[in-house]
């Protein structure tokens, strides 16, 4: 399996910056030519061009390494294939690529990338100067791409070894949430709650800061000196904020995977909360729900579990958080505790209750309320100003952990 490591490029000299920009513009030209050629075929009703034909068409025309051109063509053909499949499945408004692009990420295949003496060399084709970056890598780089994300970034693929598939018979369920990113219970009587308050507060901070800057910007003439200054401030803030949120998410999901690994879990069920967001619950709540990125949580968890050799099932979690696991009575809980009015199931954690019900839903077996529940809170360790490690935070250290028994759920990490 491959994961991606992201390295942000610090300040570049103007001439280097121009070269990077020119490379992306050149890649966009390849894409545009493919788009036009494909459009012609559709209009004239002639056979569509395949990879060989497109390679022939673009050969020697662009100031890029031949494999970089091939990567653009491959991406284009993959796009065509998925559009065709979607159109066949009658998904409306699916268009074949038509837009003329100005920029496109430049990619290098693994064979063309060189890494020697701490310098990453990316060839630009015969007779042209290669791009080279000083980077401290502790692995052999795979395919590389040059991406613009409010600044240049280098994305490097890394080959990761998968662990052996586990067959211990232990199962776990995960209830995703906004206040608590995940509540995990195993059928061996263990529980884990990972707080999501850090991410939530960062998002709230972003909303407030953006509103302030936006208000100021709305009084400026567009593209004036002051407008540009404010725009720069906005970009800078958003970029840092999104990096922090990403780091929190990696930490939180890693904590879940480590927990499952220490308790020898072999299969995990993740409840997909799709549908919770569709209800209209007022301005503030709607904004919170719209910014809750549970899809990312599912993605991160899935690939991290895959690396750890744990199988993942994803399914609907409808009704799990509003049903009493003991008597089956249904009511919507208020606050963080679950009190059943019909039986003795009282003062239990709301998200853990949801997770407990999933055992019945996914594996068809009832499980007892966990004896010990561990609370964890993701914390950003160390500053990573230029170096962002995405999808690779499995080695970072653990921070807070508190074990609580039974009802004492008042412990909530404050931010
Ligand atoms: Zn009950």
* Distances from the Cα of 73 to the Cα of 85, 156, 316, 327, angstroms: 18, 20, 38, 59
234: three-class secondary structure by DSSP = helix
Each residue of 370-384: b (16+ CB within 10 Å) or e? beebbbbbbbeeeee
Instruction: Write the DSSP symbol of residue 48.
Output: P
Least confident of 147-161, 216-230, 390-404: 390-404
Provide the token pair at 305.
Answer: 């579990």
Q: What is the mean pLDDT of the chain?
A: 85
Nearest to 79 by CA among 34, 29, 27: 34
Highest mean pLDDT pick, 125-139, 268-282, 387-401: 125-139
Q: How far is the CA of 294 from the centre of ligand 1 (A)?
A: 29
Least confident of 85-99, 185-199, 279-293, 383-397: 383-397
Beta strands in 305-358 (DSSP E): 311-316, 337-338, 348-349
The percent of residues above 70 in pLDDT, for the chain, comes to: 92
Provide the token pair at 254.
Answer: 């890693």
- According to CATH, the topology of domain 170-197+247-405 is Nucleotidyltransferase; domain 5 (3.30.420)
Q: How far is the CA of 171 from the centre of ligand 1 (A)?
A: 24
Protein residues with C-beta less than 5 angstroms from the ion ligand 1: 324, 326-327, 329, 340, 342-343, 345
Domain spans in the chain, listed from the N-terminal domain onward: 2-159, 170-197+247-405
Least confident of 49-58, 186-195, 294-303, 317-326: 317-326
Whether 415 has a pLDDT exceeding 70, the answer reads: no
Average pLDDT over residues 116-120: 88
Per-residue pLDDT band at 391 (split at 50, 70, 90):
very low
Per-residue pLDDT band at 382 (split at 50, 70, 90):
low
Q: How far is the CA of 324 from the centre of ligand 1 (A)?
A: 5
The number of residues in the chain equals: 415
Bridge partners for 349 per DSSP: 337
Tokens 């009015």 sit on residue: 341
Whether 208 has a pLDDT exceeding 90, the answer reads: yes
Q: How far is the CA of 338 from the centre of ligand 1 (A)?
A: 10
The percent of residues above 90 in pLDDT, for the chain, comes to: 51
Average pLDDT over residues 63-74: 93
141-193 per-position pLDDT tens digit: 999 999 998 889 999 998 888 888 888 889 999 999 888 999 999 999 899 99
Average pLDDT over residues 63-77: 93
Whether 322 has a pLDDT exceeding 90, the answer reads: no
Q: How far is the CA of 342 from the centre of ligand 1 (A)?
A: 5
9-60 per-position pLDDT tens digit: 888 889 889 999 999 999 999 999 999 999 999 999 999 999 999 999 998 8
């Amino acid at each position: 399996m491959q994961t991606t490591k992201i390295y942000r490029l610090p300040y570049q000299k103007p001439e280097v910056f121009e070269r990077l920009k020119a490379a992306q513009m050149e890649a966009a030209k390849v894409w545009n030519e493919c788009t036009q050629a494909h459009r012609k075929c559709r209009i004239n009703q002639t056979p569509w061009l395949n990879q060989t034909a497109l390679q022939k068409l673009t050969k020697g025309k662009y100031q890029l390494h031949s494999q970089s051109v091939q990567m653009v063509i491959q991406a284009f053909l993959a796009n065509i294939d998925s559009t065709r499949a979607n159109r066949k499945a009658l998904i409306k408004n699916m268009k074949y690529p038509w837009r003329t692009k100005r920029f496109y990420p430049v990619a290098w295949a693994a064979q063309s990338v060189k890494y020697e003496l701490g310098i990453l060399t990316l060839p630009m084709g015969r007779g042209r100067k290669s791009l080279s970056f000083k980077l401290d890598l502790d692995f052999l780089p795979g395919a590389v791409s040059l991406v613009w994300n409010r600044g240049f970034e280098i994305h490097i693929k890394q080959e990761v070894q998968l662990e052996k598939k586990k067959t211990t018979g232990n199962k776990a369920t995960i209830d995703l949430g906004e206040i608590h990113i995940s509540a995990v219970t195993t059928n061996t009587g263990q529980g884990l709650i990972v707080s999501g308050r850090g991410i939530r507060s960062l998002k709230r901070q972003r909303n407030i800061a953006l509103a302030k800057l936006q208000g100021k910007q709305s009084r400026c003439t567009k593209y004036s000196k002051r407008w540009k200054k404010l725009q720069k401030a906005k970009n800078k803030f958003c970029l840092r904020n999104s990096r922090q949120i990403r780091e929190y998410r990696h930490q939180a999901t890693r904590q879940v995977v480590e927990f499952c690994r220490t308790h020898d879990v072999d299969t995990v069920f993740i409840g997909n909360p799709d549908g919770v967001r569709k209800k209209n619950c007022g301005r503030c709540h709607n904004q919170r729900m719209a910014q809750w990125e549970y899809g990312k949580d599912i993605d991160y968890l899935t690939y991290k579990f895959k690396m750890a050799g744990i199988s993942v099932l994803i399914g609907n979690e409808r009704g799990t958080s509003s049903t009493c696991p003991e008597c089956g009575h249904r009511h919507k809980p208020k606050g963080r505790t679950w009190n059943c009015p019909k039986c003795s199931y009282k003062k239990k954690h709301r998200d853990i209750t949801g997770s407990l019900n999933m055992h019945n839903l996914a594996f068809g077996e009832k499980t007892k309320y966990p004896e010990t529940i561990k609370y964890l809170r993701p914390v950003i360790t160390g500053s990573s100003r230029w170096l962002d490690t995405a999808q690779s935070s499995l080695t970072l250290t653990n921070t807070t952990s508190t074990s609580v028994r039974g009802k004492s759920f008042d412990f909530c990490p404050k931010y």
